[in-house]
């Protein structure tokens, strides 16, 4: 089985990337893992043309299709996201918007292979878990419309930098045992 760990932050070396590395190392004992960063892909804004509602394809060709190919290749998808103003980073939101051709809210729609499982790990600098819950709901909603079974989440508060992540290593590795 293959696991895809996506750093939903454009920062390739921060706390979110550290969480991704811990998850990747933990899961690589049981799965073939691939770790990617949203910033590895050039993804244009959705044009709102709604052509995909008729064709199940986007009129634009860029990194969105490349990242969807990674989703297709994976059995398990773990979205790891920091909080940017109480939601997922804009770069990841742009990707979500560009997945409209795959949304099960209209016909025809493109679809991923059945049986995929999705997870969310979110982190924020502040102490309030409500903000983490908002990000989790965004990722769960995204998975739902792609017909990826949402199977679990972890919210981490008070994460300012990599050192804070290392102090939470047990929580992260415990979470991975359920994936």
How many independent structural domains does the chain possess?
A: 1
Question: pLDDT tens digit string along 149-168?
Answer: 999 999 999 999 999 999 99
pLDDT for position 60: 97
User: Domain limits at 166?
Assistant: 2-176
Cα(107)–Cα(105) distance, rounded to whole angstroms? 7
Residue 13 CA neighbour count, 13 Å, CB half: 0
pTM comes to 0.97
Question: pLDDT tens digit string along 72-83?
Answer: 999 999 999 999
**pLDDT class for 19, splitting at 50, 70, 90?**
very high
- Kindly report the CATH number assigned to the domain that includes residue 24: 3.40.50.360
CB neighbour class for 151 (10 Å; exposed up to 12, middle 13-18, buried from 19): middle
* Mean pLDDT, rounded, for 40-67: 97
The Cα-based distances of 125 to 79, 90, 156, 159, 171 in angstroms read: 18, 17, 9, 5, 16
């Amino acid at each position: 089985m293959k696991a895809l760990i996506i750093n939903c932050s454009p920062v390739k070396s921060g706390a979110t990337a550290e969480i991704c590395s811990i998850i990747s190392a933990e899961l690589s004992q049981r799965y073939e893992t691939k770790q990617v960063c949203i910033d590895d892909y050039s993804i244009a804004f959705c044009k709102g043309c709604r052509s995909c509602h008729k064709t199940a394809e986007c009129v634009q060709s860029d990194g969105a299709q490349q990242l969807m190919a990674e989703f297709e290749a994976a059995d398990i998808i773990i979205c790891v996201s920091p909080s940017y103003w109480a939601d997922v980073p804009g770069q990841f939101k742009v990707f979500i918007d560009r997945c409209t051709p795959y949304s099960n809210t209209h016909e025809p729609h493109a679809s991923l292979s059945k049986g995929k499982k999705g997870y969310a790990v979110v982190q924020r600098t502040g102490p309030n878990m409500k903000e983490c819950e908002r990000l989790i709901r965004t990722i769960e909603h995204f998975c739902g419309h792609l017909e990826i079974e949402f199977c679990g989440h972890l919210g981490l508060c008070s994460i300012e930098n990599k050192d804070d992540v290392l102090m939470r290593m047990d929580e992260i590795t415990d979470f991975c045992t359920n994936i």
